[in-house]
Amino acid sequence: MKAVYYFDPFYQYCPVKKYLSQYKSNPQDSVGQRTKKENLLVSIRSKIDFVVLNQGRQVGSISKGLKEYSFFEIRTRKDQDVLIRIFYIRDCDKIVFLNAIEKSDKDNRKKDKRDMGAGLEKTEKYQNTYNKYKNTQKCYEEYI
Amino acid sequence: MNKNYPLLAKAAEERIRLAVEVFNAREKLHLSQQVLAKAIGTTQKVISRIENGDVNVGMALVGRISEKLKFDSETFARIFQRPAIWTSVDYALQSSEIKTDKREVNYINESLITYKGEEQYETCLDRA
């Protein structure tokens, strides 16, 4: 099985790739910031590798299926209070990373809940687009 | 590639393997995260983070978790990806019954192992 990023044919970008690119280290970053970014990217990468190794199946708490949706998620903690949720689906020999969103532990506010709901709906939209166009055009980009 | 990458990746992989082992053992014993946390003197949040592979866990906490979840040498071997024979010998060497550097330890696989300082193990089969 191989991991790929979902490529949106309308907006011409990969949501997960775009999200992860913000953690690329810049020359302006301090040593602390660079270390934090490196740790986070390595942690995400290790989890993705582990999920690929297990053919995208739900294993322990590393990857989980969502109750109301047909996709899975990988959770990684960014800060004390912020969690990164990366959503993916399994498609034949591919694990397609659809979307990534951040969730605050303090999401008691109505706005936070609404944002999370909107993020999940967007992911479902990506999934539908992928399923609709996967046979006619390339809706993914290689994960490196 | 970053020069720290192999080390960071190894640590992350170990965290993930520990996470899976803790989750599986806890489920097998029908314990909730809350109950396990209380039993080992920590919080549910910490258990959740361990099971997500998000934190580096100290030796003391690993010890308490392994005691409660009844980890054996095979489990540690899976986590640290070392042969079970090594983890058994390491454990035996750390026990208080063994005091000198050069000693013989009876291993559960019925082979005799001689410890000759750091990371030098010799089995009966090697000597034969």
State whether the Cα torsion B29-B31-B33-B35 is positive or negative: negative
Do B54 and A76 count as a contact with CB atoms less than 8 A apart?
Answer: yes
- Above 80 in pLDDT, residue A13? yes
Q: Residue A56, SS3?
A: coil
Q: Which two tokens stand for residue A93?
A: 């020999």
Using an 8 Å CB-CB cutoff, list chain B residues near A42.
5, 8-9, 12
Contact A48, A3 (CB under 8 A): yes
Do B19 and A60 count as a contact with CB atoms less than 8 A apart?
Answer: yes
CA distance A132 to B41: 51
B40 with B10, same domain: the answer is yes
Question: B54 touching A, CB under 8 A?
Answer: yes
B71-99 pLDDT tens trace? 988 888 888 887 766 666 666 666 555 44
B3-56 pLDDT tens trace? 778 888 999 999 999 999 999 999 999 999 999 999 999 999 999 999 999 999
ipTM of the prediction? 0.85
Partner residue opposite B20 with nearest CB, options A46, A62, A77? A62
Work out the burial of residue A87: count CB atoms within 10 Å of its CB; fewer than 13 is exposed, 13-18 middle, 19 or more buried: buried
Q: Using only C-alpha atoms, what is the Rg of chain A? A: 15
pLDDT band at B107 (very low <50, low <70, confident <90, very high): very low
- Residue-number span of the structural domain to which A18 is assigned: 2-142
B54-74 pLDDT tens trace? 999 999 999 999 999 999 888
Give first-to-last CA distance, chain A, whole Å: 14
Question: B53 touching A, CB under 8 A?
Answer: yes
CA distance A9 to A135: 13
B74 with B112, same domain: the answer is no
Contact A80, A92 (CB under 8 A): no
Residues counted in chain A:
144
Q: How many domains does chain A have?
A: 1
B72 with B10, same domain: the answer is yes
Do B51 and A60 count as a contact with CB atoms less than 8 A apart?
Answer: yes
Using an 8 Å CB-CB cutoff, list chain A residues near B57.
none
Q: How far is A121 from chain B (nearest CA, A)?
A: 24
Is the model more confident about A143 or about B96? A143
B26 with B53, same domain: the answer is yes
Partner residue opposite B5 with nearest CB, options A42, A50, A59? A42
Do A61 and B23 count as a contact with CB atoms less than 8 A apart?
Answer: yes
A68-83 pLDDT tens trace? 899 999 999 988 888 9
B89 with B71, same domain: the answer is no
Q: Which two tokens stand for residue B104?
A: 């013989």
Question: B61 touching A, CB under 8 A?
Answer: no
Q: How many domains does chain B have?
A: 2
Tell me which of A38, A44, A46 to substitute to probe the interface with B (most B C-beta atoms closer than 10 Å).
A46
Residues counted in chain B:
128
- Residue-number span of the structural domain to which B59 is assigned: 5-80
Contacts of A30 (CB under 8 A, 6+ apart): none
